[in-house]
Amino acid sequence: MKDKFVIKGGNQLKGEIEIRGAKNVAFPVLAASLLTDEDCFIDNLPLIEDVFKMLKVMEGMGVKVDWLGKRRIKVNTSQVNPENIPFDIIKFFRGAILLVGPLLARFGRIKFPPPGGCVIGARPIDTHLDAFEQLGIQVSGLGIEKEENGKFFYFQKKENFIPSFYTASFIVKENKQTTREVILKEFSVTATENVLLFTALSERKTILKIADEDYQVQELVKVLRRMGVEIKIRGGNKIEIIGKKKLEGFEYKIISDPIETGTFIIMALATQGEVVIKESELNFLDLFLKRLKDFGAKFKILDEKTIKIFPSGILKMDKIQSLPYPGIHSDLQPELGVLATQSRGPTLIHDPLYEGRFKYLEELNKMGAKIIFCDPHRSIVYGPTKLTGIRFASPDLRAGAALITAGLVAKGETIIENIYQIDRGYEKIEERLQQLGADIKRVEEK
């Protein structure tokens, strides 16, 4: 059985909605639990497919997960065995890359397949591998694995071939008096997190440069500090880490998802709605909100966790550029692209991070939008245009949410298939939109 969303557009969103826990915070926090034998308590877990996958991977390795409530769990990793990593799940789940750092730190050697995830362009893990090599870890990318009579045979990868799995190992040669330095090849959230997780069990001082400082990194830092790691965030995207050989368990409540907040803000604006959004992490959306205000959006911040969106008429956008934090998050670029179709004049959309982020724009053109593709990273959206509902498959997680927005404003019926991609990051999004007056249904399709 495959589900699809059926949307009849034209309804203004009205009412209140509460934001769920941050998907991209759940992954590194769960990974951090692998650094200790003690119990770890995690609250406000988002009940989404990617989180369930992460837990399934961990349980496959012997981690004990007890549900203490609807969104609260107790995790104990004292019996974890990295040799039991379920490869079949990881190959379709990119967030699992964050298991590499803590497992290497704890066991010294692992075998790990390249992770999967959204197809939004080239997303190699070379930044992770380069950082690990700077930390003294030997990484070999191997090709085909064959089992015969209980033994494994490894075939070396060919040039420009993505290996079926990697092996990584390191020898402990700790010198507490020597500071080591790691310079990332690019701003990468997950590579930053992996370095933090790996060095958390090392008493040697590590200086990480070109570190990403987005919300999920900041939250991971809070958790590692509670476990006993000494971490200082310096200016200029530099982080200093001094770990401990034995870390404590922790209790932590996952913050609300800033990306989900931005998603519902755009949905309200696009439908000329009046929506109160509660439990919002607005402090991570400064530039996003500033640009919306520049475009003519009407909203009021009621308190540090609550924002109210008002009907704003036709906006006038000019340029949207997604950049690493504190820039506008690439995950919100597709939503802004949909909003641009309902705005006056041309809007340049620039996403220098991923060349596959614009697949949703192709679907918008089929719905009646006027969009010119300049190159893989830049497009110009001309508006306002009337969108008409069509049938299509969700290209990826964030594009899927954006295309729901398009369906909410489109005339007629929009059918979105492959909604598993959307379920990976948004918890029962159709039920929550129904409470705001949207005409959206989940339909089972054989």
The pLDDT tens digits for 190-231 are 999 999 999 999 999 999 999 999 999 999 999 999 999 999
Q: What is the pLDDT of residue 260?
A: 98
Residue 367: both structure tokens together: 């719905």
Where does the pLDDT of residue 120 fall: very low under 50, low under 70, confident under 90, or very high at 90 and above?
Answer: very low
pLDDT at 87: 84
Say how far apart CA 365 and CA 385 lie, in whole Å.
10
Query: Is 336's pLDDT higher than 90?
Result: yes
Note whether 285 and 426 are same-domain residues. yes
Two structure tokens written together for 122: 């080239």
On whether both 76 and 52 belong to a single domain, the answer is: yes
Confidence of residue 152 (pLDDT cuts 50, 70, 90): very low
Claim to verify: residue 297 and residue 201 sit in the same structural domain: no
Domain of 29, CATH number, reads 3.65.10.10
**Domain boundary pick from 233, 253, 273:** 253
Q: Provide the edge-to-edge strand list for the sheet that holds 165-169.
A: 109-112, 165-169, 138-148, 151-156
Q: 329 and 395 share a domain?
A: yes
Beta strands in 287-337 (DSSP E): 298-303, 306-310, 319-321
Give residue 119's pLDDT: 42
pLDDT band (50, 70, 90) for residue 364: very high
pLDDT range class, residue 158, cuts 50, 70, 90: very low
Quickly state the pLDDT bin for 164 (edges 50, 70, 90). low
Per-residue pLDDT, 356: 75
Residues 64 and 158 in one domain: yes
pLDDT of residue 175: 66
204, 219, 253: which is the final residue of a domain? 253
Q: Where are the alpha helices (DSSP H) in 367-425?
A: 397-409, 420-423
The pLDDT of residue 117 is 46
146 by DSSP, 3-state: which?
Answer: strand
Preceding omega of 384 cis (within 30 degrees of 0) = yes
Tell me the C-alpha distance between 233 and 325, whole Å. 14
In 10 A of CB 403, how many CB atoms? 29
243 and 134: one domain?
A: yes
pLDDT value of position 145: 52
Q: How confident is the model at residue 156 (pLDDT cuts 50, 70, 90)?
A: very low
pLDDT for 110 equals: 87
Among 151-165, 292-306, 316-330, 331-345, name the one with the lowest average pLDDT: 151-165
Pairwise CA distance, residues 369 & 263, whole Å: 20
Q: What pLDDT score was predicted for residue 138? A: 84
Let me know whether 239 and 303 are in one domain: no
∠ CA 390-13-120, nearest 5°, is 50
With 0-12 CB in 10 A as exposed, 13-18 as middle and 19+ as buried, what is 348? middle
When comparing pLDDT for 154 and 142, which is higher? 142
pLDDT at residue 125 above 60? Answer: yes
pLDDT at residue 177 is higher than 80: no
Residue 174 pLDDT greater than 80, yes or no: no
Instruction: Give the number of other CB atoms < 10 A from CB of residue 380.
Output: 16
pTM here is 0.91
Do residues 355 and 372 both lie within one domain? Answer: yes
Containing structural domain, residue 306: 2-20+256-445
Indicate whether 296 and 386 sit together in one domain: yes
**Range 351-356 average pLDDT:** 80
User: What are the angstrom distances between the C-alpha of 129 and each of 100, 165, 183, 231, 285?
Assistant: 10, 13, 12, 22, 30
Task: For CA atoms 405, 352, 368, 420, give the dihedral sign.
Answer: negative
Number of domains in the chain: 2
Q: Which residues are catalytic?
A: 118
What pLDDT is recorded for position 173?
Answer: 59
Tens digit of pLDDT for each residue in 288-323? 999 999 999 999 999 999 999 999 999 999 999 999
Picking from 223, 253, 283, the residue at the C-terminal end of a domain is 253
> Residues 249, 273: one domain?
no
Q: How far apart are CA 367 and CA 414, in angstroms?
A: 9
β-bridge partners, 308: 276, 300
387 in the same domain as 355: yes
Average of per-residue pLDDT values in the chain = 91
List the alpha helices (DSSP H) in 296-414: 333-341, 359-366, 397-409
Q: What is the mean predicted confidence (pLDDT) over 30-46? A: 98
Task: Select the more confidently predicted residue: 376 or 75.
Answer: 75
In the predicted model, what is the mean pLDDT of residues 154-179? 60
Closest alpha carbon to 405 in 443, 440, 358, 356: 440
Q: How confident is the model at residue 1 (pLDDT cuts 50, 70, 90)?
A: low
Written as one string, the DSSP assignment of 97-111 is: GGGHHHHHHHHSEEE
pLDDT for the residue 88:
83
How many separate helices (H) and strands (E) can be counted in the chain?
A: 14, 24
Residue with the larger pLDDT of the pair 444 and 264: 264
Taken in order 136, 137, 141, 146, the sign of the CA dihedral is positive
The type of residue at 142 is L
Residue 216 and residue 260 in one domain: no
Residue range 257-263: mean pLDDT, rounded: 98
pLDDT in tens, 380-392: 999 999 999 999 9
What integer pLDDT is reported at residue 165 of this predicted model? 63
pLDDT at 154 over 90: no
pLDDT above 70: residue 239: yes
